[in-house]
Amino acid sequence: MTFNQTCLFGQIDDLHDLALIERPVRRSLTTAEEIEKLTVDEGLNDIERAVYLLSSGQDVQRASVVVNLPNLVRQNPAETFRRVVPKVREVLHVAGVEMQLAAAASFLTILQDELILIQTHTHSILQIILLNLYHRDAAVVSTAWLETLLSAIDVLPKETIRQEILNPLVPKAQLSQSLQSRLASCRVLGKVAGKFESHIVKKDVLPLVRSLCQDVEYEVRSCMCRQLEYIAKGIGAEHTKGVILPELVELARDEGSSVRLAAFDTIVNLLEMFDNDDRTCIVFPLVKTFCEKCFKADEAVLASLTFQYGKLCHGLSGSFTEDQHVWFLEFYKKLCVLGLQHENGHSETYPLELERKYESVRKNCAYNFPAMILFAEPKNFLSELYPTFSSLCHDPEISVRRTTANGFHEVVKLLGSSVHLIQKELIALLQDDSLEVLDALMDNLLEILELVTSKGEGAGSESKQVNVPDLIPALNAAEQKAATSLKWRIHEKLLQKYSCLPRVISSDQIYFRFLQRMFTIITTNNVLPVQRQSARTLCVFLRYNRKQEQRQEVINKLVDQLGQGRSYWNRLRFLDICEIVIELFSKSYFCKYFLVPALELVNDPVANVRFKLCNMLPKLKSAIKLPTDKHLLQQLEFCVRKLLCREKDKDVMAIVRKTVLELDKMDITEPYQKRHEKDLLDQKKEKEENLLLEMEQLEKQQTEGKSSSEKLGERKRKEVKKSKLSRSRSLSCNPSPPKLSAAEKSLKSTSSSSPVTTKSSLQHINDDLLRSHHFSVASTSTAPSASVPVLIRSNTTGNGSNGNKDTRKINISKRSNP
C-alpha cells in the first residue's frame, strides 16, 4: 500500500468515526417535564414566590431570587428578612460560585443603599457575610465576600463595626487560625483603623497588628505591612514614629523579598508623616541598604522599587545632604541603563526572563524621569540627566521608548527655556520605527510642539536654525510611516493631531510640505475614517492660511478634482468637505466658494452622491443668509424641485420627501435664542476672516514700503557718490569747498533720514491695527469653547536659511476667507 493510499484510508476511517458519534438533533429545547418543573403558581405574591423557588426551585431560579433580593427589601423589608433571608442563608451552604458572587453583590447593595431600617437586619446580613468570608474557594468566593465586607465598613456606624466586625475578628487573627483567616483579618484591620479615634485604634487594633507583623507566614507579614499605612493615618504622626516606624524597620530587613518590598512601599507612602531627623537617620540608611541589596541580587523586587523611586526621591529631597542627594541620583542613572552594558563596557547576553525584568526596571525609570528632573533641578539637566534621557529615548525596547514618549510633554514643561536641549530626542521619537512610540507621542503633540518652537531658541538663534527645520521632515516621515502600516487608527489619530500645525509653523511651510499630502490622502487612501480626518485637517490648514493666492488655489483644486472629479468617491468626499467648511468657516465664505459646486451635484449620475446631497440640504439652507443670498436660496429650491420631478431612485426619492418636510420646518422649529447664538458666532468668524485679509494687505504694504525705502536709499547713495566724484575733479581749481549753510544742513539731514522714518511709521501703523483687531476679536467672543489661540507666523520677514517668520499671537476661534 502506498503512502497516498494510507492517507486516503485514514481519512475514510476518521469520517466513519464521526458518523458513529453522530447523535439525533433534539427538536424541542425544553421538554414538557422541564416546563412543569419551572412553572410557578401565578397566585403567589413576591415573597411567597421567592420562598418557594429557594426551597424547591432550580439553580437558575434560586439565583434569580438572590439577584432580586434588594428589590424585595425595598418592597417589604420586614417579610423579606423574616422569611427570605434565612432561606438564602441555607441555600448558600451548598450554592455554587455564581450564586455566591450574586449574593455578595446583593447584600452589598442592600447595605450601601441604606435599605435596612433596624439593627437586627444589619446583624443578619453581617452574620451571612462573616460566615461565607472563609469559604473553601479562597481565590474567588472568599475574596468576593471580603470585598463586600470592606465596602460595607464604609457605610456602617462605628458601634456596629465594633460589635459585629471587630470583636469577632480577634479570635480569627490568632496564629492557630487558618492562613486565609489571618490574611482577611489583616485587610479588615487596615480598613477599620480609619473609622475610630486614635486611642481606640491603639487599644483594640495595635495589639493584633503587632501579632500579625510577627506571623510565621511571609504572606501574612507582607499583607499586614501594606495595611500599616492606613493604621498610621488612624493613630496620627506622633504615635506613628514610636509604634509604626520600628515595625517598618524590622519588616524592611525581613528574609522574604515580598515583605521587604511591602515595607519599602509603605515607607514611601508615609514619608510626609516622618520628620527630617527620621528621614535622615532612619529612612535613608534603610532605603539605601534596600536598594543596594535589590540591585545585586533581587531583580524582581527591583522592578517594583523603581516604580516608586521618583516619589521616594521627591519626598526625601528636602532632608538629603549633598552626598545623599548624589548617591540617589547616581543610583537612578545606573538603573536607567541596567541590562544594556556590562561593567567592563561590553554588551552581554542575558536570559530572556532576566531581560524582561531589566526592561521593566528601565520602563519604570522612564516613567519617573519627570520627577527626577525636579529632584536634580532643571538647571542641572544638561550635566546630570541629559545622557540618561537620551539613552531612554534610544532604548532598544519599545516599551521603554513608549513610556518615555508618554512623559515627553512633562519633560518639556519642566525644562522651560532649556527645551532646545532635547529637540534631537523629539526628532528621534518622531522617526522611531515603532508605531506604538509614535502613538504615545501623539497624545500631547500640540503641547510639545508649542513649547519646543516657542522656547527652542534658548541657546541662541543658531540652535533653532539647526534643529527646527528637522522637525518638518520628521513629521512628514511619521505620517508616511503610519500611512504604510495596517494600523489605520494610529494614522487617523496622527492626522487629527496635525491640525494643530498652524499654531506652531508658518502657513507657507504647511502649504508646501503638508497640504498637498492631505489632498493625496483624500484621493488615494482606502480607509474612510482616514480620508475624512485628512479632509478635516486640510480644511483647518485652509482656514489658517495667510495668502489669498494659496487659498484660492486650494479651493479651485477641491472643486475641480473632488467636486467635479471622475470618481464618485471623490465627489462624496467633496460633500464631506462642505460639511466641515460649514462648521469651520463663516456662512458667507461657504456660500461664496462651495455652495454652488455642491448644488451642481444634483445632476450626479451616481445615486449615492445625490442621496448624500439630499441629506445635506438642510445644512446648506442654514448657511444661506437672507436677503443678501436670495438668489442662492432660489438655486437650492430649484434643485429640490428637480429632484422631486426627475429622481428615479427610490431611496433618493424617499430622502428627498423627508428633506422637503425638514426644510419647511427649519425656520419655525428652531428657537430664537439658539438662532441668535449661531448668528453671533457666524459674525465672529466673518470678522476673523476679514482680519486675515487686512493683515495680508498690511504685510503687502509693509513689503512695498520696505522696497521703496531701499530704492530711495540706493538713489541717495548714487547721488553721494556722484557728488564726491565731482568734488574730487574740482579740487585742483577750488582747493577749499564752500561751507553749507544751516538751512542746507538741516535739509540734508532730513532727506537722509526719510527712508527710516517711512519704514518705522508704517510698522507702527501695522502693529497698532493688529493690536486693535486682537482686542476687538477677544472682546466680542461669545463661544469660549470654540476659540482657539492661533500662532500666526508672518511671511514677510526672513530669519536665515530655516525660513522662520516673525510671529504674532492672535486669539481667534477660526480663520478663513481668501
- Output the nine-digit C-alpha cell for 45: 405574591
CB 145 within 8 A of CB 102: no
Which residue type is seen at 126? L
Q: Which residues of 244-266 are buried (b: 16+ CB within 10 A; e: fewer)?
A: bbebbeebbebeebbbbbbbbbb
Q: What local confidence, expressed as pLDDT, does residue 746 receive?
A: 44
Q: What local confidence, expressed as pLDDT, does residue 347 receive?
A: 58
CB 294 within 8 A of CB 302: yes
The whole-number average pLDDT for the span 69-95 is 89
Residues contacting 344, CB < 8 A, separation 6+: none
Residues contacting 211, CB < 8 A, separation 6+: 173, 174, 175
Give the containing element (helix H, strand E) for 596. Answer: helix 595-599
CB 155 within 8 A of CB 114: yes
Measure Cα distances from 665 to 622, 642, 687 in Å: 12, 20, 30
CA distance 665 to 663: 5
CB 542 within 8 A of CB 816: yes
Q: What local confidence, expressed as pLDDT, does residue 239 receive?
A: 84
CB 563 within 8 A of CB 574: yes
Which of 561 and 45 is assigned the larger pLDDT?
561
Q: Angle, to 10 degrees, between the axis of helix 352-367 and the axis of helix 398-406?
A: 10
pLDDT at 303 over 80: yes
481668501: which residue's cell? 818
Tell me the pLDDT band of 112, cut-offs 50, 70 and 90: confident
The whole-number average pLDDT for the span 216-221 is 94
pLDDT at 739 over 60: no
Q: What local confidence, expressed as pLDDT, does residue 449 receive?
A: 92
Query: Which among 149, 131, 66 has a CA at the least distance from the CA of 101?
Result: 66
Q: What local confidence, expressed as pLDDT, does residue 628 receive?
A: 86
CA distance 217 to 196: 28
CA distance 419 to 273: 36
Q: What local confidence, expressed as pLDDT, does residue 556 receive?
A: 95
Name the H helices within 670-803: 672-729, 742-779
Tell me the pLDDT band of 337, cut-offs 50, 70 and 90: very high
Which of 727 and 444 is assigned the larger pLDDT?
444
Query: Which among 116, 120, 111, 125 has a CA at the least distance from the CA of 77?
Result: 116
Torsion of CA 417, 418, 421, 426, to 10 degrees: -50
Query: Which among 400, 417, 323 has a CA at the least distance from the CA of 366?
Result: 400
CA distance 258 to 218: 8
CA distance 194 to 235: 9
- CA of residue 777 relative to chain centroid, distance: 31
432550580: which residue's cell? 58
CA distance 560 to 570: 10
Name the H helices within 431-500: 435-442, 445-455, 461-484, 488-497
Long-range CB pairs of 623-627 (<8 Å, 24+ gap) are 623/582, 623/587, 623/590, 623/591, 623/595, 624/587, 624/591, 624/595, 625/587, 625/588, 625/591
Distinct helix (H) and strand (E) counts, the chain: 47, 2
CB 814 within 8 A of CB 786: yes
CA distance 537 to 530: 10
CA distance 234 to 552: 70
The whole-number average pLDDT for the span 569-583 is 95
Measure Cα distances from 131 to 82, 89, 107, 247 in Å: 19, 9, 13, 32
φ/ψ (deg, to 5) at 812:
-140, 150
Of 107-121, 237-251, 427-441, 593-607, the one with minimum mean pLDDT is 107-121
Query: Which among 807, 141, 771 has a CA at the least distance from the CA of 455?
Result: 807
**Terminal-residue alpha carbon distance, the chain:** 85
The whole-number average pLDDT for the span 759-771 is 40
Share of the chain above pLDDT 90, in %: 43
Long-range CB pairs of 723-729 (<8 Å, 24+ gap) are none
Which of 794 and 152 is assigned the larger pLDDT?
152
Tell me the pLDDT band of 810, cut-offs 50, 70 and 90: very low
CB 599 within 8 A of CB 620: yes
Query: Which among 753, 448, 705 has a CA at the least distance from the CA of 440?
Result: 448
Q: What is the DSSP letter of 801?
A: B
Secondary structure (3-state) at 584: helix
The whole-number average pLDDT for the span 252-281 is 89
Measure Cα distances from 348 to 57, 661, 764 in Å: 67, 76, 66
3-state helix, strand, coil in the chain (%, to 5): 80, 0, 20
Question: Over the stretch 354-408, which tens digit does the pLDDT of each residue have?
Answer: 889 899 999 999 999 999 999 999 999 999 999 999 999 999 999 999 999 999 9
pLDDT at 177 over 60: yes
Give the containing element (helix H, strand E) for 159. Answer: helix 158-160
Name residue 792's beta-bridge partners: 808
Of 199-203, 440-444, 670-674, the one with minimum mean pLDDT is 670-674
pLDDT at 77 over 60: yes
In this structure, the chain runs to a length of 818
482657539: which residue's cell? 788
CB 463 within 8 A of CB 420: yes
CA distance 230 to 170: 19
Which residue type is seen at 513? R
CA distance 11 to 303: 53
Share of the chain above pLDDT 70, in %: 78
The whole-number average pLDDT for the span 276-303 is 84
Query: Which among 816, 794, 790 has a CA at the least distance from the CA of 805?
Result: 794
pLDDT at 203 over 80: yes
539647526: which residue's cell? 466
CA distance 273 to 233: 9
CB 119 within 8 A of CB 160: yes
Query: Which among 578, 624, 625, 621 has a CA at the least distance from the CA of 601?
Result: 578
Which of 364 and 627 is assigned the larger pLDDT?
364
Query: Which among 384, 350, 471 has a CA at the least distance from the CA of 420?
Result: 471
Which of 36-40, 342-346, 591-595, 737-741 holds the top average pLDDT?
A: 591-595
Which of 578 and 13 is assigned the larger pLDDT?
578
CA distance 533 to 109: 45
Name residue 790's beta-bridge partners: 810
Which of 541 and 344 is assigned the larger pLDDT?
541
The residue ranges of DSSP E strands in 371-421, in sequence order, are none
CB 427 within 8 A of CB 471: yes
Q: For residue 532, count other CB atoms closer than 10 A to its CB.
A: 18
CA distance 620 to 734: 84
Give the containing element (helix H, strand E) for 790. Answer: strand 788-793
The whole-number average pLDDT for the span 163-176 is 87
Secondary structure (3-state) at 799: strand
Secondary structure (3-state) at 816: coil
Q: What is the DSSP letter of 547?
A: -
CB burial of residue 727 (10 Å; 0-12, 13-18, 19+):
exposed
